[in-house]
């Protein structure tokens, strides 16, 4: 195998088949993929409603503190299914590779992707590989699709939101976006910044199983951060959301980096954070469940749903209140 990706790897000939067989099929090893058909037949789905999602990943750099583009692709797709109440089962993976990409880097990213899929309990069952000219793809782009099943009785969405619902988050905000930004710009602080990239389906399963019917809505706070997700909730459900700034968990190193760059951590992307609306009487129990999970040790109650207004309003530590708008423009380019 050559040490870099060549245009010939996308030709469909012998060298293409070597790449697919020796790298992708070997790493993602499962019965459906090993057939190497034009599609995978999903004939073993459990009872429930089928959920389907798709996403593309163009992060730069390809490897960043706490993760890489392959791990990010699996986690992002798994999480998009999980926050809908679905149990993720199968993924696809399409790779657009740039001529000259280092083969060892590709190998390591694919291995990380495979390990993350195993940890999340999903299988990558079909995919595609294309190679583009040098300079056309920043090394690598990945497109994914994911299939999951929403079990009977699980119903999440804006129609479930009620006044006095409690808003929780499973941990600190802004970790991923600032880790990528610091790496890309070559900046460093005394405390290392790391992405929070992680599959959230295990944590979400724990919550849904323990509190049937009490979880009303969930979203992962990726592009646009916490502020944008909550504005989408407010608009979709026609409700107001009242936040308490002091209760929103932010790592000190993230806060310092944001202040240095003139950014607001509420708008910085995350890749391992879920925002949850639960019935008021179940908030304490939900917080307890989240904090028992390794991805929820820093979980917090950050606000409530209200009928008093139709905005996202933040109360500062000084008692003042301000409206938190949806992100406008591009605060952090190329973070996922």
Q: What secondary structure does DSSP assign to 201-233, as a single string?
A: HHHHHHHHHHSTTTEEEEEE--TTHHHHHHHHH
Q: What is the rounded distance in angstroms from the CA atom of residue 55 to the CA atom of residue 52?
A: 11
Q: Are 162 and 305 in contact (CB under 8 A)?
A: yes
Whether residues 202 and 135 fall in one domain: no
> Does residue 124 form part of some domain?
yes
Listed residues 93, 117, 150: the one ending a domain: 150
Q: Which residues pair with 149 in a beta bridge?
A: 50, 87
Which token pair is 88? 């993720």
Whether residues 254 and 107 fall in one domain: no
Whether residues 171 and 212 fall in one domain: yes
In CATH, what number is assigned to the domain containing residue 81? Answer: 3.30.1330.10
**Distances from the Cα of 204 to the Cαs of 82, 208, 229, 291, in angstroms?**
7, 6, 18, 12
> Does residue 99 form part of some domain?
yes
Whether residues 51 and 187 fall in one domain: no
Q: Over 70: is that where the pLDDT of 332 sits? A: no
Listed residues 115, 150, 185: the one ending a domain: 150
> Does residue 64 form part of some domain?
yes
pLDDT at 333: 63
Whether residues 130 and 243 fall in one domain: no
Give per-residue pLDDT as tens, 292-302: 999 999 999 99
> Does residue 330 form part of some domain?
no
Q: What is the rounded distance in angstroms from the CA atom of residue 176 to the CA atom of residue 265?
A: 11
| CA angle (246, 216, 50) in 5-degree steps | 130
Sign of CA dihedral 20, 21, 22, 23: positive
pLDDT at 190: 57
Q: Over 60: is that where the pLDDT of 265 sits? A: yes
Mean pLDDT over residues 57-80, rounded? Answer: 96
Q: Over 70: is that where the pLDDT of 172 sits? A: yes
> Does residue 333 form part of some domain?
no
> Does residue 25 form part of some domain?
yes
Whether residues 249 and 304 fall in one domain: yes
Which among 174, 168, 140 has a CA at the least distance from the CA of 66?
174
Question: In terms of DSSP bridges, do strands 123-132 and 87-98 run parallel, antiparallel, or are they unpaired?
Answer: parallel
> Residue 120: which domain range?
7-150
Work out the pLDDT band at 182, boundaries 50, 70, 90.
confident
In CATH, what number is assigned to the domain containing residue 314? Answer: 3.90.650.10
Whether residues 166 and 290 fall in one domain: yes
Listed residues 102, 130, 150: the one ending a domain: 150
Q: What is the rounded distance in angstroms from the CA atom of residue 23 to the CA atom of residue 114?
A: 11
Which token pair is 64? 């960043």
| CA angle (90, 92, 97) in 5-degree steps | 155
Give per-residue pLDDT as tens, 203-250: 999 999 999 999 999 999 998 999 999 999 999 999 999 999 999 999
> Does residue 328 form part of some domain?
no
Work out the pLDDT band at 331, boundaries 50, 70, 90.
low
Whether residues 106 and 222 fall in one domain: no
Work out the pLDDT band at 269, boundaries 50, 70, 90.
very high
> Does residue 335 form part of some domain?
no
Task: Select the more confidently predicted residue: 316 or 334.
Answer: 316
Whether residues 89 and 188 fall in one domain: no
Whether residues 100 and 209 fall in one domain: no
Our count of domains for the chain comes to 2
DSSP category for residue 46: P
Whether residues 311 and 171 fall in one domain: yes
Q: Over 60: is that where the pLDDT of 1 sits? A: no
Whether residues 127 and 201 fall in one domain: no
DSSP category for residue 102: B
Q: Over 60: is that where the pLDDT of 61 sits? A: yes
DSSP category for residue 294: T
Q: What is the rounded distance in angstroms from the CA atom of residue 100 to the CA atom of residue 134?
A: 6
Give per-residue pLDDT as tens, 73-85: 999 999 999 999 9
Other beta carbons within 10 Å of 7: 15
């Amino acid at each position: 195998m050559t040490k870099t990706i060549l245009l010939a790897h996308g030709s469909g000939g012998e060298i293409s088949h070597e790449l697919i067989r020796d790298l992708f099929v070997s790493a993602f090893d499962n019965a459906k993929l090993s057939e190497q058909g034009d599609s995978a037949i999903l004939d073993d789905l459990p009872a429930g409603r089928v959920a389907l999602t798709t996403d593309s990943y163009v992060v730069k750099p390809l490897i960043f503190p706490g993760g890489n583009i392959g791990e990010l692709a699996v986690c992002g797709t798994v999480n998009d299914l999980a926050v809908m109440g679905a149990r993720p089962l199968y993924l696809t993976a399409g790779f657009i590779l740039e001529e000259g990409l280092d083969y060892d880097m590709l190998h390591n990213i694919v291995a990380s992707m495979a390990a993350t899929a195993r940890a999340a309990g999903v299988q990558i069952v079909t995919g595609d590989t294309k190679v583009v000219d040098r300079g056309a793809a920043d090394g690598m782009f990945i497109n994914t699709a994911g299939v999951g099943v929403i079990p009977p009785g699980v119903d999440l969405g804006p129609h479930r939101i009620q006044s006095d619902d409690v808003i929780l988050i499973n941990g600190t905000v802004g970790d991923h976006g600032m880790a990528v930004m610091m790496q890309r710009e070559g900046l460093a602080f005394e405390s290392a910044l790391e992405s929070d990239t992680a599959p959230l389906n295990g944590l979400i399963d724990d919550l849904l199983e323990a509190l049937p019917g009490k979880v009303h809505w969930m979203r992962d706070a990726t592009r646009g951060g916490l502020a944008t997700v909550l504005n989408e909730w407010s608009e979709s459900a026609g409700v107001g959301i009242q936040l308490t700034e002091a209760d929103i968990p932010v790592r000190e190193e993230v806060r310092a980096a944001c202040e240095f760059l003139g950014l607001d951590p509420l708008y910085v992307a995350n890749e391992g954070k879920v925002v949850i609306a639960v019935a008021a009487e179940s908030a304490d129990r939900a917080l307890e469940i989240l904090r028992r999970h390794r991805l929820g040790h820093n979980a917090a109650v950050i606000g409530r749903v209200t009928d008093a207004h139709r905005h996202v309003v933040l109360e500062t530590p000084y008692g003042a209140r301000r409206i938190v708008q949806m992100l406008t423009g591009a605060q952090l380019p190329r973070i996922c």
